[in-house]
Every structure is written in structure tokens, then in C-alpha cells.
Chain A
Amino acid sequence: DSGVTQTPKHLITATGQRVTLRCSPRSGDLSVYWYQQSLDQGLQFLIQYYNGEERAKGNILERFSAQQFPDLHSELNLSSLELGDSALYFCASSALGGEQFFGPGTRLTVL
């Protein structure tokens, strides 16, 4: 158990819909990262937050957004979903510059 929690574990939805994925970092970690894992793209970095502020952005689509709240939990919002958005979405947390510990992931299926 990494100490990072993610909900829900599984999500099945339809094209065009919007979903929210939630992540709680390990106690004391200020950095939260979101990654997407798909068969064709592998593991891709999406976005990083540090203590509530956006720190770095990767190949995150405009239809996707994220935020980190004062209690340090983070949410990833995916809208106007397409079939190709089906993937495993991971959240990770770390002390700045240290090991990143990953949550169990949310498996998103878009039908």
C-alpha cells in the first residue's frame, strides 16, 4: 500500500460525458501528479500540482483539467469523453524531487 488513494477504481461511461477522478496523496506530500496509461501511448505524464498550484503540464488535452484543493487532494476532470480516452489513470504523490508513489489507478472505459 503506497498511501495514495484513488477513487473510483473503475468507471464506465459513454462518449460525450464528463467524469471526475479523485486522488488523496500520502500524508505530508505536497506534490500530486496525474498520469495516463494506455496500450498505444504507454505511461504519459499529464499534469503536476504542488501545494495547490499547477507546477508542470504534459500532454494533457484541453478537454481535461485538474485542481488541487487546500487539503491537498486532487481531482482530474475529463470532459467530452471519446473512445480513445479509455485508459488507466494514475495519481502519484511525492515530496518535491523525491520518489513518486502511485495510487492503484482508476480504470476508465468509454463506450
Chain B
Amino acid sequence: SQQGEEDPQALSIQEGENATMNCSYKTSINNLQWYRQNSGRGLVHLILIRSNEREKHSGRLRVTLDTSKKSSSLLITASRAADTASYFCATGVIGGGKLIFGQGTELSVKP
């Protein structure tokens, strides 16, 4: 079963705009990871944020984590057409290594 929900399910923006995707989850976590998937291909790891961290940056990506609200957000700044993909959050559960995925946000960046 899915751990949480991602919002929105689909997002369409223009190149250069920022894209924000949100993820909510249900149980306590060890970490939260974000992935990108292009058209049913492989999952590319973007960033991992641990439960004791609140914010993390990687290039044009900014991830926040609010464990009190059981939510996370992924911000992609200055988006490019190449950012068009599905984005998934995945929670790493305490005491185990498995990831529980959300249903994903489909991002479309128009040139």
C-alpha cells in the first residue's frame, strides 16, 4: 500500500518557472527520498533528507521536511524542458531499509 500522497498529481508550467511538489506520509520515518522517472524508464535518485534534517539543497533542487506535519516538499527552481518527468517521494521506514512510494507528480515543463 502507498505510504502517502503527492500533490498535485499533475503540474504544467513554463520553462524558467519554479515547480513545487508536495508529499505527505503516514508513519514515522528514518528518511525521505525523492526520485525522478522519465516515461516509465528507470528511477533517478535526486536527494535524501533524514528525519532530523529540515531542509536540503542540491543544485536547483530544494527539499524541506516537516516531521510534525508528516510532509515534505520538492522545489525545482528555474525549470527546464528536460525536467519533464514524474517525481516520486519515498519514505524510508524506521528499522528497515525498504522504501514506500507515493503515487507521484507528473511534471510537464513547456519550452
Residues of chain A whose beta carbon lies under 8 Å from any beta carbon of chain B = 2, 31, 33, 35, 42-45, 48, 50, 55-56, 58-59, 88, 90, 92, 94, 96-105, 107
Q: Which residues of A contact B96 (CB under 8 A)?
A: 48, 55-56
- A98 nearest CB across to chain B (Å): 7
Contact, CB under 8 Å: A43 / B88: yes
Q: Which residues of B contact A55 (CB under 8 A)?
A: 96-97
Whether, in the assembled complex, B44 has its beta carbon less than 8 Å from a beta carbon of chain A, the answer is yes
Whether, in the assembled complex, B11 has its beta carbon less than 8 Å from a beta carbon of chain A, the answer is no
Q: Among A59, A100, A104, A105, point to the contact of B99 (Cβ < 8 A).
A: A100
- B58 nearest CB across to chain A (Å): 12
Query: In whole angstroms, what is the CA distance A33 to B90 when docked?
Result: 14
Secondary structure class of chain A's binding surface, majority of residues: strand
- B47 nearest CB across to chain A (Å): 9
Size band of the interface chain B makes with A: 20 to 34
Q: Which residue of A lies closest to B30 (CB)?
A: A97
Contact, CB under 8 Å: A105 / B42: yes
Contact, CB under 8 Å: B2 / A2: no
**0/1 string, B30-74, CB within 8 A of A gives 1:** 110101000011111100100000000000000000000000000
Contact, CB under 8 Å: A42 / B2: yes
Closest 8 CB pairs of A and B: A43-B101, A102-B43, A104-B42, A45-B98, A99-B48, A56-B96, A42-B103, A56-B98
